Amino acid sequence: MSFKKEIQRRRTFGIISHPDAGKTTLTEKLLLFGGAIQEAGAVKSNKIKKGATSDFMEIERQRGISVATSVLAFEYDGIKINILDTPGHKDFAEDTFRTLTAVDSVIVVIDVAKGVEEQTEKLVEVCRMRNIPMIVFINKMDREGKDAFDLLDEIEQKLGLRVVPLSFPIGMGYDFKGIYNIWEKNINLFSGDSRKDIEDTIEINDLSSSELDKLVGEKAAKTLREEIELVDGIYPQFDKEEYLNGHLQPVFFGSALNNFGVRELLDCFVEIAPKPRPKKSEERLVKPDEDKFTGFVFKIHANMDPNHRNRLAFIKIVSGEFKRNTPYLHVRHDKKLKFSSPNAFFAEKKEIVDISYPGDIVGLQDTGNFKIGDTLTEGEVLNYKGVPSFSPEHFRYINNADPLKSKQLNKGIDQLMDEGVAQLFTLELNGRKVIGTVGALQYEVIQYRLEHEYGAKCTYENLNVHKACWIETDNKKSEEYKEFLRVKQRYLAKDKRGQLVFLADSPFSLQMTQQKYPNIKFHLTSEFD
């Protein structure tokens, strides 16, 4: 197959939602259609002993939540689909924001009973800022929940989207009869049995035919006719260009757990979702069909295999072909590296690939060369933007609980920080290490992983810090800067890259410091121009 054709058949997307809306379950069911797994494991169900394939860290299995973004790929109808399943839990939002830099479109999952939740609002806002095309999937239709029209209104108002339903539910909860697929003009009847043949749809070109009454009963048929008439009257016609520009969002209804409405979503997705898109670098716009390879690291995962202390850097390929055993330029280090075993993924199953194309995600074995945001090219100096560190919300001292294991502890902290789980600050005054995170749950994850993956135990001590601010000054020799360093000595630290950070203990002290030193800039993200 030609290079151009390979690009045409790739779709790379992320799934985002509030925790518990059914994101991981939906991912599982999509894989089921791709024939990638034989039996999907629901995240919560104890009946199936198999955990969800995409949750492969022990702590995720115990808690039933996803904390690391996993990458899953499968083939469907000749299309190569790459899914990035992101953590919904707000403590891991930073990982999700980074992942959004690597996707071409997203599917937003919404729970029919809870409607739009706060975490969904934040993530959708990021997608809207970047004009990422979105499809909405309203999940758990087999449970009692909000009225379909009320939900569509809520999505428009709270998320600021313009929606167009491409499928519509027939009833809900106990009365849930099935789904009318507006996109394909057919009906899929719901039996509540996820083992039944899921391809079983009945074509209905004319809703006024008596066939509909026979299928779902007169009352439900009458309601459906009225509702579809309303849909036609209220919502715009679907327009693919509008969707691709991020101005129109198709909506599907279904129940991922019962494997219902998922095929309709997937069939439409394959047809309308964007192919790999151009990406802006600091130097220029890079198009996927350029001959020369470029890509960037959007995630690093330590210890994919606890038996080997290895790290994987996840690279999104933006242009050209990525070939095994070919030397590529690591732009930040200005040195050539080559990779003998690049991995493609299916959850924890990895396979070595010889050649990958734009849109694909490749995992590279890494001994510490990579940081999040690094660029690889065939020689051109390019820097892809948009993977910043944010100021953490929580700060704690980290202490070694076992003096004999300090080497393991330092190595563990180093690797976990490279992975972007949290940020490490080293105090200038006494060299004590401070860990900053976006959410409190991350401390548990760090403690757990240090013990189980590195054999090191740690304890925490609270530290009263309001915000971490990255410091920038035009003149390091000025008296003002010297005085700032002297007076604020106890509040200064270095981050992992050696940048100077001011740890303000309250909003008031930050404001006072800014007023007192007007020529020093205080940034709340680490990436500033």
Q: What is the pLDDT along the chain (529 residues), one digit of tens a residue?
A: 788 899 899 999 888 887 777 777 888 788 777 665 544 444 443 333 444 545 445 555 555 444 444 777 888 888 888 888 766 555 555 666 777 888 899 999 998 888 888 778 878 887 887 789 999 999 888 788 888 899 999 999 998 899 999 988 887 777 777 888 888 777 777 765 544 444 456 766 667 777 777 777 788 888 888 888 888 888 989 999 999 998 999 999 988 887 788 888 888 898 899 999 998 888 889 999 999 999 998 887 765 555 555 677 889 999 999 999 999 999 988 999 988 888 776 544 667 888 989 999 888 888 778 888 889 999 888 888 755 566 788 899 999 988 888 898 988 888 788 777 788 999 998 999 999 987 777 888 888 888 888 889 999 999 999 989 999 888 888 999 999 999 999 999 998 878 899 999 999 999 999 999 998 999 877 664 3
Q: Are 389 and 95 in contact (CB under 8 A)?
A: no
Report the Cα–Cα distance between both ends of the chain, in Å, rounded: 42
Q: How many helices, marked H, and strands, marked E, lie in the chain?
A: 14, 31
- Cβ partners under 8 Å of residue 481, min gap 6: 473, 475, 517, 519, 520
Phi, psi torsion values for 481, nearest 5 degrees: -65, -40
Query: Are 347 and 88 contacting, i.e. CB atoms less than 8 angstroms apart?
Result: no
Cα distances (Å, whole numbers) of residue 226 to 75, 188, 216, 234, 381: 38, 18, 15, 12, 59
Two tokens, residue 411: 């190595």
Q: What is the dihedral of CA 333, 336, 340, 344, to 10 degrees?
A: 60
Report the 10 Å Cβ neighbour count for 351: 11
**Dihedral sign, Cα of residue 383, residue 375, residue 334, residue 370:** positive
H/E stretch holding 72 reads strand 70-76
CB atoms within 10 A of CB 196: 13
Q: Could you give the angle at the alpha carbon of 16 between the alpha carbons of 302 and 393, nearest 5°?
A: 65
